[in-house]
Each structure stands twice: as C-alpha cells, then as structure tokens.
Amino acid sequence: MIKISPSILTADFTRLGDTLDMLIDAGVDMLHIDVMDGLFVPNISIGLPVLESINKRYDIALDVHLMIDRPHRYIENFVKAGADIISFHLEAGSDVAKTIDLIKSCGAKASLAIKPATPAKAVFEYIDMLDMVLVMSVEPGFGGQSYMPMAEGKISEIRSEAERRGADIDIQVDGGIDKTTCEYVKTAGANILVAGSAILKSDTPKLLISHMKENI
C-alpha cells in the first residue's frame, strides 16, 4: 500500500492551518515535519512548538524528520510533542543502535535516514531494528530541489535486503517527488512518498495525491 506524507517545509506558514486542512481533506496518510538546526544542514526550520500545535489540532500521524546534529539529545522531547515516527540521520553523530532503541522505548516508530552520498549497505546492519528507512533523493536542507535518480538503486537494494531478512519495513523517499518521479521510486520499492512542492503548488492536489497512491 502506497502512503503519502506531504512535507510542509515549503508551505506558507501564515496559512499553515488552511494548508493542513487541505492536505488532510485530500487524503494524505501522515504529515512530514522537517526539523533543521543549521548545523547538520545549512538551514533552520521549525521545531517543537509547531509540532505540538499540529498534534493538538489534528488526529493524523506525524512523521518527523530530524536533520539535526546528535539527534539522540532530543528524541524524548519530540515524542512528547507528538511525533509518531522519527527519522534521524545515520550521518548525524549519534550512536545509531542506541538512538533506535531510545525512539522505540519512548513509544514512536524508528526510522533511519541516509543522504544521497551514503550507500544503501550502510543501513543493512540496522534493518532488523527499524520500522522504516528514509532514502533522500535530494541533499537534505531545502525544499523544491530536483530529484536524484540514483535513489532508485538504493531503494531497490534496501528492499531486497529487507526481503532477504524477512524484515517488514517501510521505505520512504524524500526529495523531488512529483507525478512522474513517484512512479520510478514506487517501482524501485518505496511505499511512503514525501512530496512537498509538487502537492502544495498543484491546482488539483487531491487528484495528484490519488495518482501518487496508486500501486504499481
């Protein structure tokens, strides 16, 4: 089953409530919250107060992507604020296994994210511990970037390794996902698609989301 997790990174934050109402009415499965600290990536975005506010108003899964340095320091805070899924980066300087355990002990699903330059095999040793792997198809830090096709090979490798191990994990892909590129990543084995600009700039977001959710 294909799920859609729209990023709100490129939303007009003066009208965020209206945007979230539209996305939920259009049939999205969860909301993708990008958190950046200006250290791990060269940008700063939203944090705990926005997550808490969204969680209080909306009954929908909150998919939090931590693009921050040493993310283990903030896991408990983000779960308390409403995170249902937490993705943290393998490259971010935290002990990966301990951070996965911490996320799960706090009651959230654990996801490991990798940048475009990180090989798929880097996540293999953690697959049995994870609920999800997030493959970046752009450099993390900014919305609206162009899709990197090399993500497809990594998605396929991770899906094959998960199946070999009998691990029932989700594979999420984030970056440059639109009406065309969604077909490539679904074919490769991704089942959760993060799309921001494509949906938020669409004149017919409900139709686009319906198209993206179609199985290959």
User: Residue 194 forms beta bridges with which residues?
Assistant: 174
Please, which pLDDT band fits residue 40 given cuts at 50, 70 and 90? very high
Residue pLDDT, tens place only, 109-151:
999 999 999 999 999 999 999 999 999 999 987 777 899 999 9
Contacts for 208-213 with beta carbons within 8 Å, 24 or more apart?
A: 208/179, 209/4, 209/6, 209/26, 209/27, 209/28, 210/27, 211/179, 211/182, 212/2, 212/4, 212/177, 212/179, 212/182, 213/2, 213/3, 213/4, 213/27
Residue of 34, 131, 170, 178 marked active site: 34
Active site residue 174: yes
Tell whether the model's pLDDT for residue 1 goes beyond 80. yes
pTM, full prediction? 0.96
Euclidean distance between CA atoms 124 and 160, whole angstroms: 10
Residue pLDDT, tens place only, 53-107:
999 999 999 999 999 999 999 999 999 999 999 999 999 988 999 999 999 999 9
Euclidean distance between CA atoms 22 and 142, whole angstroms: 23
Active site residue 12: no
Residue of 29, 131, 174, 178 marked active site: 174
Distance set, CA 190 to CA 10, 26, 216 (Å): 23, 21, 11
Domain coordinates of the chain in residue numbers? 3-212
Q: What superfamily does domain 3-212 belong to in CATH?
A: Aldolase class I (3.20.20.70)
pLDDT computed for residue 96 by the predictor = 98
Tell whether the model's pLDDT for residue 216 goes beyond 80. no
Residue pLDDT, tens place only, 154-202:
999 999 999 999 999 999 999 999 999 999 999 999 999 999 999 999 9
